[in-house]
Amino acid sequence: MSETGNASRVRGQSCRGHNGRARRPAFARRLRRAKPAAPRRGRLARHGGKGHVRVFHIATWALILASACAAAAEEGAWRTYRGDTALRGATDLELPDRPALLWRYRAGAPIMETPVCDGTLLFVTTRDARVIALDLNGAEKWTAAPRPPPATNRTSAAESFEAPPACAAGLVLVCGAGGTVYALDAATGSERWRYDAGANIRSTANWEDDGNGKPGRVVILTQPDGALHCLATDTGRAVWNAPGAARTDGSIAVHRGRIVFGSCDSALHVVSLADGRETLAARLGDGHEIAAGVAVEGDRAFTGNRSGSLVCVDLASGKTLWVCEEGGGELFTTPAVRGDRVVFASGDGDVLCVAKDSGRAVWRLDANAAEAKSPVIAGAHVAAALDGTLHLLSLENGRELWSFEAGDRITAPAVVGGMILIGTDQGHVLAFGRRE
């Protein structure tokens, strides 16, 4: 699965088919390259851009500020690894063209999942199964280390987190690899409740938003069979359980009373949040296994798949509206959707922007990264994590504005209150923004 969206997440058997990434032929890579213009660099960056931008069409382009349609995470919060419950990976908040490093927090263990924020506190999970809360200045507020109950099928008493955290209704939701869901008090880190889903979880926990920012139900997806568990937010008790049809490596989106996710049977599934009944299974065809999060806006879903294409599906009819085959390799990152554009990282390590209504290519950053994470749209910018380096691009034309080398591996970015946040394999949380 991806970050659930990160292409490096799955090990062993999965609908990804293999652990390596497809490489385009050398002659194709040469044809796509030209001497790039030197980007402006971050103060501590050790290298600049890795590629150049190809613009497929030049037309009058107006930036659509879509705050009214909730295409972005609420201001000051980034509640899932993609910002909102629909996994759109976008915000209206603007960023400086050349952000400065504002602060660094040292967790003491690798951070492999995107930080989340409830508007007041940031929450990260570490490789040694701790949950850490920070204020917006990087000061630690609390640390928790949930432990799973003893069980005969466990080989270790230690917990591990392979799913991104989420936060909602005063809770931090973290899912253990062994199937235990922990709801921690966001203010103190104390455990409010736990739930045993009975199988490995790699999807982010998600929830129903009642329109007032207070979710009524939490939804959990187990990886081996794609089963869904709907829980009461206040108690963690099961409201309903729904069996799955196939292994599911990606994360679930929740939007307008629907749960949307892809599976290893090359299908996009829509399930009613009210009762767990499946209302749609859109078949994409053999070789189109979905192993990342699905971004949802209105009645449209956007997702990549094993074939390397990005598809747009109508959630009412199940029809595929368009297919973009500009990417290479297996596409297991989650796209970002804002205004009239969709931005995604391809399986061959490039960043692409396409028109939301047609899938027609707008621009492409030829990065050829070994590991490309799910990008984020923030106002007129795109933040992308490529091979341990954070890049800031222009949403209009893909031109690289700034970069910062943070480590060998970094998380996909989050955007909170005008700051870009990432975690690193060196155990750091880094915050970038405008220095006052």
112-134 pLDDT, tens digit per residue, is 999 999 999 999 999 999 999 99
- Strand partners for 301: 296, 313
Q: What are phi and psi of 18, to 5 degrees?
A: -155, 165
| HSE-up of residue 428 (Cα within 13 Å, Cβ side) | 16
Q: Which domains are assigned to the chain?
A: 26-433 (2.130.10.10)
> In whole angstroms, what separates CA 48 from the centre of its chain?
25
The pLDDT score that the predictor gives to residue 149 is 74
3 state SS of 12: coil
Query: For the residues 230-235, what does the mean pLDDT come to?
Result: 94
**Mean pLDDT score across all residues of the chain:** 84
Chain segment 278-320, per-residue pLDDT in tens: 999 999 988 899 988 999 999 999 999 999 999 999 999 999 9
> pLDDT tier at 14 (50, 70, 90 boundaries)?
low
Q: Are 229 and 173 in contact (CB under 8 A)?
A: no
| pLDDT band at residue 61 under the 50/70/90 scheme | very low
Q: What is the pLDDT of residue 19?
A: 34
Least confident of 28-32, 52-56, 79-83: 28-32
For residues 226-234, average pLDDT: 94
Is the confidence at residue 433, as pLDDT, over 90?
Answer: yes
Mean pLDDT of 260-272: 93
Please compute the mean of the pLDDT values over residues 263-275 and round it to a whole number. 93
Q: What is the DSSP letter of 136?
A: T
DSSP string for 325-352:
----S---S--EEETTEEEEE-TTS-EE
Q: Write the pLDDT tens digit of every residue in 152-188.
A: 444 455 688 989 999 999 999 999 988 999 999 999 9
Among 314, 339, 425, residue whose Cα is nearest residue 67: 339
pLDDT of residue 23: 35
Residues above pLDDT 90, as percent of the chain: 69
